[in-house]
Amino acid sequence: MSIVPPSSRALGAVRRKAMNVSEQQLVSERLLSPDHALPLVIEPVVGGVDLVAWATGERESLEKKLLQYGALLFRGFSVLSVEQFDQVIAALSPGALEYMFRASPRTRVGGNIYTSTDYPADQMIFPHNEHSYSPRFPLRLFFYCHIPSQTGGETPIGSTRAVKASISPEIEARFREKGVLYVRNYGDGFGLPWQTVFQSEDRSEVEAYCASVGIEVEWKENNRLRTRQRGPAVVRHPRTGEEVWFNHATFFHISTLPPVIRDSLQSNFNDLDLPTNTFYGDGEPIEPHVLESLRAAYLDSLVRFSWQQGDVLFIDNMLAVHGREPFTGKRAIMTGMAEALLQSDVAV
């Protein structure tokens, strides 16, 4: 994943809206902030509400709420373990997926549950849609707070509806016409090795997977690898039918890295040899002013909240972006992905 310093934009103080209580009188619902359309916070109003059992019975209703808001934050349900978190995922989806075609370091903690990106605590992770660079991506994401950090460590989220609305028609039209070219290099001493990315030591297996999803493979000397792939900038949500901005053009671009890291990489590699970089789909460079505008659209969409132990965040990956703030102290946020889709499934 790419990383950049946090936005200097100060968000307004969070104010509670009036509480709506469900017909069953078991949970309440409220927006976290009246200034943002997400997340919808769902909390028990009586003791002993089991999130797995309750969510199983309310799955259809929660699906509708997720499509409306883009993210649901379950708070106060006493989810105390990775095993319980995995059960929540199974209650709300077909179950957690294995993390494939990786772009960030993560540790498997049980089943298909992983740590939420093992980056240094002092670095921010820029907001993005999970795997939007990949021909195969998860429609749904889940985060679980096992241990909140001492300070910071928020997982800011933002609406892709807001992101798309902030992008100028001229920029959107250019990306619609050209698409995005993703160039990744593995084994050059930066980023993840291809064996980790593809979860295989067999070059023929890597080639077969890439061929199956339209990724171009180029083996370089000393067992190094370069891949290229073209993808859309705008796709159609399979359930709402709306067009959404969904790509890694900003996230993977060299200019989105912090200056110190960016300058170090550019002093050692040309634009095609960087660990990750993006271009217009025809290979032409993306203009600096376009990237600045896109970064502003993402950062302006964000709402932040402090994690509480036991929180579970349920995200529609096409309707919401997520990132990470720097933190101090121990932090244990777990993640699971669900409902795999192909880019071809959501083509405009």
Give the torsion through C-alpha atoms of 170, 172, 175, 180, to 10 deg. 140
> For the ranges 11-15, 142-146, 294-298, 311-315, which has the lowest average pLDDT?
11-15
CB environment 207-239: b (16+ within 10 A), e (fewer): eebbeeeebebeeeeeebbbbbbbbbbbbbbee
| Higher per-residue pLDDT: 25 or 4 | 25
Burial environment of residue 74 by CB neighbours within 10 A (0 to 12, 13 to 18, 19 or more): buried
pLDDT digits (tens, 9 = 90+) for 33-53: 888 999 999 999 998 899 999
Report the C-alpha gap between 182 and 215 in whole angstroms.
Answer: 10
Closest CA to 166 of 178, 154, 158: 158
Report the C-alpha gap between 14 and 35 in whole angstroms.
Answer: 8
What pLDDT shows up at residue 103?
54
Taking the whole predicted model, whether its pTM rises above 0.85 is answered as: yes
pLDDT band at 8 (very low <50, low <70, confident <90, very high): very low
Token pair in block for residue 189: 């001493």
What pLDDT shows up at residue 100?
61
pLDDT digits (tens, 9 = 90+) for 50-65: 999 999 999 999 999 9
Sign of CA dihedral 213, 215, 216, 218: negative
Report the C-alpha gap between 110 and 336 in whole angstroms.
Answer: 10
| Higher per-residue pLDDT: 142 or 135 | 142
pLDDT digits (tens, 9 = 90+) for 10-22: 323 333 344 454 4
pLDDT digits (tens, 9 = 90+) for 204-247: 999 999 999 899 999 999 999 999 999 999 999 999 999 999 99
